[in-house]
Amino acid sequence: MFSKSRINDPAPKKAGEPETLNLDASTQKPTGEFKPSAPKPKPPASVLSSDLTITGNLRTTGDIQIEGVIDGDIRAHLLTVGEGATVRGEVVADDVVVNGRVVGRVRGLKVRLTSTARVEGDIIHKTIAIESGAHFEGSVQRQDDPLSTGSAQKAIAAPTTPAIPAAKPA
């Protein structure tokens, strides 16, 4: 007597197609479970090859692997300085792995100097690991938030002198 209509049934999914929410046209209510699409995969690290020299600053929210020479500051999520690489400038990253040479300040939540690392500059970190054989010249300072470069830290570091009242002429 009555036959079931397949008009509102979802079509079979194709590979790689994102999930969608199907609504019943008469009630505007979902006809099935909503399944969010999978998060996008994290992009691979940007690799700056050994024959590349950059003069200028680099800024990214992603990962960078340096194999060449950088004359400038770098800000990234994960920074890996390759064994033959040289960075001249400040390095700021959540994770810093130094296999090569850095001339300048290093700021990171996690800083790791491998046995082939050569760092000439201060390191400000939350956690640090220095392997045997690493060369390091500078100071090491632990901070809970080493990535912040606000003026509050400069004010703490700057010595304060009390105000001396001016002498009254006699």
In a domain, 135, yes or no: yes
| Residue 80 and residue 45 in contact, taking contact as beta carbons nearer than 8 Å | yes
In a domain, 41, yes or no: no
Range in 23-27, 40-44, 93-97, 126-130 the model is least confident about: 23-27
In a domain, 28, yes or no: no
Share of the chain above pLDDT 70, in %: 65
CA torsion 103-105-108-112 (nearest 10°) is 40
> Looking at residues 87-108, what average pLDDT do you find?
97
pLDDT score of 125: 96
Q: State the total domains in the chain.
A: 1
In a domain, 31, yes or no: no
- If you average pLDDT over every residue of the chain, what do you get? 80
pTM above 0.85, yes or no: no
Chain centroid, CA 161 distance in Å: 38
- What is the domain extent for residue 87? 46-142
Residue 58: count other Cβ atoms within 10 Å of its Cβ.
Answer: 19
In a domain, 85, yes or no: yes
In a domain, 107, yes or no: yes
In a domain, 8, yes or no: no
> Looking at residues 93-112, what average pLDDT do you find?
97
| Residue 37 and residue 19 in contact, taking contact as beta carbons nearer than 8 Å | yes
